[in-house]
Structure formats: C-alpha cells, structure tokens
Amino acid sequence: MIGQPRDPAPHVSNRVVTQLWQDGLGRVAVRSAQLLLVLSVICVLVFVAVQLRLVVVPVLIATLIAAAVSPLVVWLVSHRVPRAIAVWIALITGLGLLLAASALIAAAVRNQWDELRQGAVDGFAELQAYLTSGRLGLKQSDLDGAVNQVSNALGGSQVQAGAIGGLTLIGEVIAGGFLGLVVLYFLLKDGDRIWAFLRDQTNDRHHYKLDAVATRSVEVLGGYVRGTALIALVDAVIIGVALAVLGVPLALPLATIVFIGAFIPLIGATVAGALAA
C-alpha cells in the first residue's frame, strides 16, 4: 500500500551475511580461499613451466649467466668498447673456455681408454671367478645364460626405443643450448632496454622502487653465481690434483663433474664427491 514502510528484511539479511564473514571463522575462511587460489595459480604456473621446459630452462640458465657476466660487459663498455663487441668478447671467451675444457676431457678419456677397458675386463673376470668359486653355488653355464639374456635384451626393441629417446634428448639439449645463447646475447646487449620496457608497463610512481629491486637482484644473483663458480673451481682443482696424485684414472673428467655438480644445490656436490671417491 502507498505510504506503508518497506520490508527491512533485505537490510537485515545483508547485515547477517556481512557479520558471518567478519567474525573469526569468516576471516579464516576468506584467508583460506585466498591461499587456495594462490596455490592453484602457482601449481598452474609450475605445470606450464614443466611443459615448456625446453624454453623455460634455457631462459633461466641464460638469466643466471647474464647476471654473472654483466660486470665484465660493463667493464668493457666503460673502457670505450662498443656494447655489441663487448658482448661478443664475453660470449666467445666463455665458449672458448668450455671448448677447451671439453677438449681436455676428451683427450684424457682417449689417453686412458685402454687402461679403462682392460680394467673393466679384469673386473668382469674377477666377478665371474667370485661367483663361480662355490660360495654362491653358481655354475659357469648359469653365468653364460645370463650374459646371453642380457645381450639379447640389449638388441631388443626397448633398447632401440631408448636410443631414439636418447637422440631426442640430445636434440632437445642442442636446441635448448642454442636458444639459451640467443637469450643470453640479447640479455647482455639489450637487457636495460628490455627491463625499461617491462617497467614502463607499471605506474610511474613505482619505477624507482622497481629499478632498485632489479638492480639489487642482479647484483645478488650475479654474486651468488660467481661465488659458487669460485668455490666449485677450488674444489675441482683440489680433488683433481688429489686424484691425479693417487693415480686414479680419469682424474680430469671427475674433477669436471665436481665443478659442475657444485652448481646443483644440496645434492650436486654430494653426488659429484661420491663419484670422485
């Protein structure tokens, strides 16, 4: 009817709903929902990164290397070397060191190949003698049958599929390495402009803080990589010299494994040390 007051029920209902979300349990529920949403987004990002690992991993590695090598490029530029040439000097120096290390490792393996092959033959003969010595009750015919089964398995379809998978992995590694080099080149050459483009997508009042965070992050990340490389080099040299003095075969490749393993947090140094031992 005209002039009759409206039903206050909706206002009361809204107040009740608001109070439900404002009490302790309601705030916990809201925070839980927000936490679940954040975790869901993180899971989706991790899933996408895993699916695109052929792109994500080279980009991450290139970012780490760029943070570590950028002081060299800045130093060359400060001495009036054009930035593009400075980047090429840094890249060629790094690739030259990598190729030199690979050549030394290949030479060490080639020089000690006969010794390794003879050691493997002697070790297999000792294993056969131990297994047929009567303690385990095995016969030579049993061992021959097992060897034949292994030989047949090595020629089967599973090994062929594994070989195809290995070739695919090698192709992915080569493609990832090429992509990483391209990304590394542009990060070293145009990193400032790339960052400026990304920063300009935000509000102007945040630019100063973002620049400070980015600069500090690059310094910390680069220092971490350079420090890890220095520690890895010291460990590799000490272990390599010790192995060479003890006459252990492949001392140089084992020292290289120790150097590379130092860049893998927690498990890298442990696994590399176990292999060297």
The pLDDT assigned to 214 comes to 87
Q: Which tens digits make up the pLDDT trace of 18-31?
A: 655 666 777 788 88
Structure confidence at residue 190 (pLDDT): 87
For residue 266, is it left (φ>0), alpha (ψ between -120 and 50) or beta? left
The rounded distance, in Å, linking the Cα atoms of 214 and 192 is 10
CB 56 within 8 A of CB 69: no
Note the pLDDT of residue 1.
Answer: 47
Is pLDDT at 72 greater than 60 in this prediction?
A: yes
What are phi and psi for residue 7, nearest 5 degrees? -70, 120
Give the model's pLDDT for residue 94: 84
Do the Cβ atoms of 132 and 143 come closer than 8 Å?
yes
| 3-state class (DSSP) for residue 250 | coil
Query: CA-to-CA distance for 92 and 90, rounded, in angstroms?
Result: 6
The full DSSP string for 57-70 is HHHHHHHHHHHHHH
pTM assigned to the model: 0.67
Instruction: Quote the mean pLDDT of the chain.
Output: 78
Q: With 60 as the cut, is the pLDDT of residue 86 above it?
A: yes
d(CA 206, CA 200): 10
Q: What is the DSSP letter of 206?
A: G
Is residue 244 scored above 70 in pLDDT?
A: yes
Q: Who has greater pLDDT, 269 or 105?
A: 105
Number of other residues whose CB lies within 10 A of the CB of residue 101: 13
3-state secondary structure of 7: coil
Cα radius of gyration rounded to whole Å, the chain: 31
Q: Give me the long-range contacts of 157-160 (CB less than 8 A, separation at least 24).
A: none
199, burial (CB in 10 Å: exposed 0-12, middle 13-18, buried 19+): middle
